[in-house]
Amino acid sequence: MSKVRVAVDVGGTFTDVCIFDEDSKTMRVTKVPSTPHDPMIAVMNGVERGEIDLKDVTLFSHGTTVATNALITRNFPAAALVTTKGFRDVIEIRDGTKDDLWDAYNDVSGPYIRRRDRFEVTERIDFSGRTVTPLDEEEARQVAALLKRRGVKTIAVCFLNSYANAAHETRMREILEEEIPDATVSTSAEILPEIFEYDRFNTAVANAVLAPLVSGYVNRLADELKSGGYAGDLLLLHSGGGSMTPRMVEKYPVRLAASGIAAGAISAKHIAQQCGYENAVSLDMGGTSTDIALVAGGELRVTKEWQVEYGHPIIFPSIEVLTIGAGGGSLAHIDIAGSLRNGPQSAGADPGPVCYNTGGTEPTNTDANVVLGRLGTSLAGGVKQLDKALSEEAIKRVIADPLNLGLAEAAQAIVSVANANMADAVRLVSIRRGYDPRDFALLAFGGAGALHGADVARELSIPTVIVPPNPGVTSAMGCLLVDVRHDLSQMYTGLASAADAEDLEAKFTALETEASARLRHEGVSDENALLQRQVSMRYLGQWRSLTVPMGTGAGALEQAIQTFHEQHEREFAFSQVGAPVEIYQLHLAAIGKTPKPSFRPAERSVGGPGEPSEVRKVYFGETGWVETPVYDRDSIPAGAKFSGPAIINQLDSTTVVPPNTHAEIDEWMNIRIHIEEVAK
């Protein structure tokens, strides 16, 4: 009886399933349409379509969009905020910034909890943790009684300086749980011990409103898998690039926001290093959006501040991914100035592109690729049949006729605008960070990434494009490559030169004790536990900080200061080596190592890709219509070399090899496309 590992990634249009056989070291994949009203249906449909016997599964990993979608749609249960008297409006006042500073009519969306559901309690602790005004317990019980009458069972407790002393928040939670025994209470000091109250409050509020939704979904799925015979823990990928069990998800559901987005970046890092590239840009283009991440020096960039909606920060370490509205379902339209636009609006899974014949009426990138001949007449192994005539009618009506363009020219224009949008996004994560994209490889994956990857690379002068063996399910594969991970932190402000080494060690030891307890709670043995120290620093007088690794033993702090100077130079193009450095915060990453799949390289042959399955006319912007061979990817051996143009079909994606490029299949079965103009 073979043992398998399963990873599932839920996307906007399709749900992708990877099945890795531990004995043969091989992977097979399948795709099913997503079910936005209940993602679990698509997950179990994928298990059925993949012919997976859950009794044989040793690991089931899942990247979910439940938390992200809930924050976008604001489909929350009744929730309340209890805070220090006078600070009811912190999450509404925010930090005063706007996404578009010059648009007076573009207001930031309101807080996740309305003002009428925010309550105040008398208490005050100062910045040092000293009690100034004791918690008024009678007032606290009155608030709890009111919430009970209202039927509120999801509550965030956010007191002003709880990061320095959490006693009042802890007592408030106890009172709420006494009065409302089945309440779910999130305290800001436990979720995020951060000095900035707006960041801390909003993260705790997001955690509170997501708790019933996410834990409900996760527990339902875990029960469904268990009833099917799966004996292990369901592992949920979180935004920091690690995974959590349902037990920890109940406590920290906000960490699952942007869950699936991180998976693609993790896969990109693995594939790039496998191919010998320490620098890579991932281009994960799905049905609704494109996610772009940067791997520099073999490491993914991590950010501490991110948000699903602007103005509502979630302050947990997260893989830095830039998401733009450019997907296979992105709608092409003409704006009021008469210019062609592409996205961010999307046809999504329902109704989908016009060629799906499921009710869509506006042309999408998928429709443009069908008209240009880049896509055939079916997707996902025949799950979706495409109607080219419907795509032609929509593009002619919406784009070609208003702009006085031919049908092919209009379709090419749609694709070109999408490529330009993606190229601009790559510039933001690379050039803006001080990196030259010409020094990177481009990893193109997702259901539509391989259709556009070579064109985006050419626009950026990136010399090499790598298309993984299963580009449409590469994000799902990332779920197989992650470890259990938790991120803990503690405020610690003061000059680094005056820091007490014993005090620092004691605080890190306390974090490590808590981290070890969390890992043991999730079933991680001590020998598989890894604890990594980090410290946030800034020049004295600065507002923002940089996080750098922190070692142990004598000289660890001095080395961290030196690393801070070097990273500041890299990030901001200057450093002040002689200036005083301030410690801002201590961090600890708690990692529980999990078994990783081990792939076998294929033997390379000499020759071409073999006979094409068909030859059809395909339109390319630089050459017009060209007779182009279409190959089945499964039939192309490792070592095969060929020149563009070519189309490569497979179950989960289609790869376009344009003219003036040449391609090869490496020993890991990746397609490597080399851009000739760039190479010269």
Whole-number pLDDT of residue 432 = 83
Locate 549 and state its tokens. Answer: 């690794």
What's the order of all strands across the beta sheet hosting 614-620? 614-620, 624-632, 646-649, 654-657
The single-letter code of the amino acid at 126 is: D
Distance, in Å, from the CA atom of 678 to the CA atom of 556, rounded to the nearest integer, reads 44
With vertex at residue 546, the alpha carbon angle to CA 544 and CA 551, rounded to the nearest 5 degrees, is 145
Whole-number pLDDT of residue 516 = 92
- Cβ burial, residue 5 (10 Å; 0-12/13-18/19+): buried
Question: Structure pTM?
Answer: 0.81
Whole-number pLDDT of residue 680 = 44
- Answer whether 221's CB lies under 8 Å from 234's CB: yes
With vertex at residue 657, the alpha carbon angle to CA 414 and CA 628, rounded to the nearest 5 degrees, is 90
Rounded alpha-carbon distances, angstroms, from residue 292 to 289, 451, 452, 456, 462: 10, 16, 14, 12, 15
Distance, in Å, from the CA atom of 306 to the CA atom of 203, rounded to the nearest integer, reads 10
The single-letter code of the amino acid at 67 is: A
Query: For 83-106, how does the pLDDT look when each residue is reduced to its tens digit (9 = 90+)?
Result: 999 999 999 999 888 888 888 888
Domain with CATH 3.40.1360 in the chain: 75-208
Alpha-carbon Rg for the chain in angstroms = 26
Question: Which of the 8 DSSP states describes residue 364?
Answer: B
Of 143, 134, 497, 73, the residue nearest 309 (C-alpha): 73
Distance, in Å, from the CA atom of 353 to the CA atom of 385, rounded to the nearest integer, reads 11
- Answer whether 179's CB lies under 8 Å from 206's CB: no
Distance, in Å, from the CA atom of 121 to the CA atom of 139, rounded to the nearest integer, reads 6
What number does CATH give the domain 4-70+215-256?
A: 3.30.420.40
3-state secondary structure of 526: helix
Which residues fall within 8 angstroms of residue 422, CB to CB, at 6 or more apart?
283, 285, 290, 292, 324, 326, 452, 456
Whole-number pLDDT of residue 549 = 93
Query: For 353-396, how does the pLDDT look when each residue is reduced to its tens digit (9 = 90+)?
Result: 999 998 989 999 999 999 999 998 876 566 678 999 999 999 99
DSSP letter for each residue of 288-320: S-EEEEEEETTEE-EES-B-SSTT--B-S-EE-
Distance, in Å, from the CA atom of 45 to the CA atom of 8, rounded to the nearest integer, reads 11
Domain with CATH 3.30.1490 in the chain: 484-592
Q: Which residues of the chain have pLDDT under 50?
A: 679-680
Would you tell me how many other CB atoms lie within 10 Å of the CB of residue 601? Answer: 11
**For residues 172-182, b (16+ Cβ closer than 10 Å) or e, as one string?**
bbebbeebbee
The domain made up of 75-208 is a member of CATH 3.40.1360: yes
The single-letter code of the amino acid at 38 is: D
What are the percentages of helix, strand and coil residues in the chain, rounded to 5?
A: 35, 30, 35
- Answer whether 195's CB lies under 8 Å from 163's CB: yes
What number does CATH give the domain 484-592?
A: 3.30.1490
Of 145, 448, 234, the residue nearest 326 (C-alpha): 448
**For residues 319-341, b (16+ Cβ closer than 10 Å) or e, as one string?**
bbbebbbbbbbbbbbeeeeeebb
Whole-number pLDDT of residue 339 = 93
Distance, in Å, from the CA atom of 344 to the CA atom of 556, rounded to the nearest integer, reads 47
Locate 215 and state its tokens. Answer: 């834990």
Domain with CATH 3.30.420.40 in the chain: 4-70+215-256
Whole-number pLDDT of residue 382 = 63
Find out whether the peptide bond into 111 is cis, omega within 30 degrees of 0: no
